[in-house]
Amino acid sequence: MRIEKRRNRPTVSRSVVAPDSVLRRRVTETPKESFEQLLQSEEHTNLQSMLEEVVRLGDNLLEKRTLQDLEQYKAAVKRFVQYAVNRAFRVRKASRLSGGWSRLVETIDTALADLTEVVLTREAPRIVLLSKLEMIKGLLVDCLR
């Protein structure tokens, strides 16, 4: 709650009148987010930016198909997954998450291994590489929920 002197400010609030009617002040209630909500929104923003980086690196990998681009992409995916798992364990109880998250991480690892095979096989069609990248992106989007 914030108390301020009455001036020509357009505010919607309730008036508090002093007994002598000389001092008039307006009390304006401002909505406040809890610290937990603020932290969660910041973490979600961080995850979004990390996902955008993964997508950008995936586009680079799709264009160039170099081992350096593959390593950068895999490192970005690893950072994203580690951050998402750590965030989830802080927010919820670990006992509820251990099975689901471990399966998701295993699925992402398998998809990254398949992606590595596709990149190393230079004759593989571009559409196969694109489908692997989109599958990994879909798995990472599931981490955001």
CATH numbers and ranges of domains, the chain: 1-32 (no CATH), 35-144 (1.20.120.490)
Q: How many residues comprise the chain? A: 145
Of the candidates 36, 42, 78, which has an alpha carbon nearest to the alpha carbon of residue 57?
A: 78
Could you tell me the pLDDT band of residue 95, with boundaries at 50, 70 and 90? very low
Give the integer Cα–Cα distance in Å for 133 and 36. Answer: 33
* pLDDT in the model for residue 71: 96
Residue 69 has pLDDT above 90, yes or no: yes
Q: Which amino acid is at 98?
A: S
* pLDDT in the model for residue 94: 44
Residue 17 has pLDDT above 70, yes or no: no
Number of Cβ within 10 Å of residue 27's Cβ equals 13
* pLDDT in the model for residue 33: 62
Could you tell me the pLDDT band of residue 143, with boundaries at 50, 70 and 90? confident
* pLDDT in the model for residue 31: 56
Residue 78 has pLDDT above 60, yes or no: yes
| pTM for the whole structure | 0.67
